[in-house]
Amino acid sequence: MGNTQCCKSVDTSPDAAAEAMPTLESWPANPGKPLIEVPAVSGGNSPQERMYKVSLVKTEGQKLGLDVDYMAERSVLPILVISGGIAEQWNRSHPERKMNTGDSIVEVNGIRGNVALMLEKCKVDATLELTICKCLTYGHLVADLEKLISIKGCGPIMVRLSWHDAGVFNGVDGCPNAAMRLAGGGEYAFGANAGLPQVAIPLLQAISDKYVPRLISHSDLWALAANVAIKVMGGPDIVTHFGRFDVQAHSEGVQSAAGRLPDGDKDAKHLREIFYPKGFTDKDIVALSGAHTVGACHGERSGFEGPWTDDKLKFDNTYFKDLLNKKWTMETVKSGNKQYRSGKTMMLTTDMCLIEDPKFKEYAVQYANDQNAFFEDFKEAWVRLQELGCGQLRDIL
């Protein structure tokens, strides 16, 4: 485990992409080619479009005219202001490689990654050879995520990606660390994660190619993408904290899902066995389960079928209202799994036990009657979930 420190398709919907989903063994089928068409990221999709080089030669008595935003935890220097001097001269004479506020310096005279040294070089070196990436700030990242999630309708699977990255924590190890992206074994190959490496991660590919690791780690990106998704789908504003570490080999992640991730065909006792060791209460279990107000089960991934609510892209308290008010009938689906159905919508056995267990039911009733109470309790439990085992994280990226 090792991470106790923890720290041309007409239909472009993710569901359509999933139908063409390769098997776990065959993925990635063609490493050079994106599996899922996604919208362009700000600044351009290819490195050729978004990266440019600038050469500044300092002269006696002339100011540089370039203010950058320094933060030790980052590996880039975002450009804050261009205020005359050599920088503005460069912009006038090189309109095709003009520096803009919001672009970020990624290399100074051959130095990358170490922002303290890069800043020092900007101050002392007589000539500055800069490599700059267009539109590389937190604001651009959030805008790129909002665009992806709105266009692709992929908010639910982003929420599930973040939950399963963090949800393997068992009270000792298994903190969010993006192990699911690493093919060959471990979290990537868990049956419980089916669809996440094949659909969710390729959906984020263009964004991760641009922003990781320059501005953000994969695991912080997954947490942020989920929170942007919840907001885009009408849910609460959720604060994201940053500083999760990515593992670099699947062997550094968790090796078995047993006892860590829940099974949909089990009972209240199972839910408590899974969630209590992570530090969650009955109230947290009910509030977190409310995320099933968005998204759907896919037969080819989990063996369960159908959406929980009539609008699977709306984050509200319909899940609890439907649980209590609709008439649910048990059915057996193609995989042989048992689930509950009412018209076009479904519930898992673990969803149903939220109204069968008296302690859980108390909260389910409260959330059905009071969406604000659901949002508040969900937010509080969800932020803890996203940060399980991470230690101190920081407020800004």
Given 76, 350, 379, 397, the residue binding ligand HEM (CB under 6 A):
350
- Residue 156 CB, shortest distance to ligand HEM, in Å, is 3
Given 176, 262, 306, 389, the residue binding ligand HEM (CB under 6 A):
262
Q: Which is nearer to ligand HEM, 78 or 155 (CB)?
A: 155
Residues 6+ apart with CB under 8 A from 16: 9
Report the alpha-carbon distance of residue 303 to residue 335 in Å, rounded.
Answer: 5
Report the alpha-carbon distance of residue 274 to residue 134 in Å, rounded.
Answer: 44
Given 41, 42, 54, 163, the residue binding ligand HEM (CB under 6 A):
163
Q: In this structure, what token pair is assigned to residue 355?
A: 């109204």
DSSP code of residue 21: P
Q: In this structure, what token pair is assigned to residue 81?
A: 């202001």
242: β partners: 394
- Residue 294 binds ligand HEM (CB under 6 A): yes
Q: Is 23 exposed, middle or buried (0-12, 13-18, 19+ CB in 10 A)?
A: exposed
Segment near ligand HEM (CB under 6 A), from 23-31, 134-142, 156-164, 367-375?
156-164
Report the alpha-carbon distance of residue 244 to residue 174 in Å, rounded.
Answer: 12
280: β partners: none
Interface positions, 62-101, toward ligand HEM (CB under 6 A): none
241 included as an active-site residue: no
- Residue 136 binds ligand HEM (CB under 6 A): no
Q: Which is nearer to ligand HEM, 289 or 309 (CB)?
A: 289
Segment near ligand HEM (CB under 6 A), from 117-125, 239-247, 293-301, 314-322?
293-301
Residue 119 · residue 68 · CB < 8 Å: yes
- Residue 356 CB, shortest distance to ligand HEM, in Å, is 14
> In this structure, is the dihedral angle defined by the CA atoms of residues 97, 137, 78 and 115, taken in order, positive or negative?
negative
Kindly give the pairing relationship between strand 104-108 and strand 77-82. antiparallel
- Residue 280 binds ligand HEM (CB under 6 A): no
- Residue 152 binds ligand HEM (CB under 6 A): no
Catalytic residue among 94, 140, 164, 292: 164
- Residue 368 CB, shortest distance to ligand HEM, in Å, is 17
- Residue 134 binds ligand HEM (CB under 6 A): no
- Residue 296 binds ligand HEM (CB under 6 A): yes
Residue 145 · residue 207 · CB < 8 Å: yes
Residues 6+ apart with CB under 8 A from 372: none
Residues 6+ apart with CB under 8 A from 109: 121, 125, 127, 128, 129
Q: Which is nearer to ligand HEM, 173 or 263 (CB)?
A: 263
- Residue 21 binds ligand HEM (CB under 6 A): no
Kindly give the pairing relationship between strand 296-297 and strand 306-307. antiparallel
- Residue 204 binds ligand HEM (CB under 6 A): no
Given 66, 133, 136, 157, the residue binding ligand HEM (CB under 6 A):
157
Residues serving a catalytic function are: 164
Q: What does the binding site for ligand HEM look like in residue numbers (CB under 6 A)?
A: 156-157, 159-160, 163, 195, 262-264, 271, 288-289, 291-292, 294-298, 301-302, 304, 348, 350, 382
